[in-house]
Amino acid sequence: MKKIIILLCILVSMSGCSKKLICTREEKKDSIQTNEEFIIGYQDDKVDTIQLEVKVTLDSKYKDYGEQIKENLKEQFKEFENIKGITLQTGNQDNIVRAHLMIVIDQMKEKDRKKLNIINLKEDMKNVKKTLEKQKYTCS
């Protein structure tokens, strides 16, 4: 029993606890409302995951444009396609279009990090928060 507890303690200390910074932004223009949420996972001030959830809500009279907006979102994230450690999911249902981008830094190749300018991830999380807040995100 003692060996199991020691093993669990070692595993917990090795894995650490990832903290999260959650930043949201909402924008409404005419008949379109856009909600964005960043969830940045970090440990010891080092980013390890980045999630971005985009939700576009259309007035019912514009719901026929949902597929076109979904394709536009895919096009905006095209540079992230076929990169190990990055997944993109998009969907369109009724008058709601969604995109979910997930980046797991440790799974990415170094060349892809450089290509996407995801190099300096040891930046102080206070600076990351300030940068997002300058872009009109509310962070907690």
Domains delineated in the chain: 15-127 (3.30.1830)
Quote the CA–CA distance of 112 and 108 in Å, as a whole number: 7
DSSP H or E run through 88: strand 86-93
| pTM for the structure as a whole | 0.80
Q: What is the DSSP string of 64-126?
A: GGHHHHHHHHHHHTGGGTT-TTEEEEEEEETTEEEEEEEEEGGGS-HHHHHHTT---TTS-HH
pLDDT in tens, 9-62: 333 334 456 799 999 999 999 889 999 999 999 888 788 899 999 999 999 888
For the four alpha carbons of 22, 23, 27 and 32, in that order, the dihedral sign comes to negative
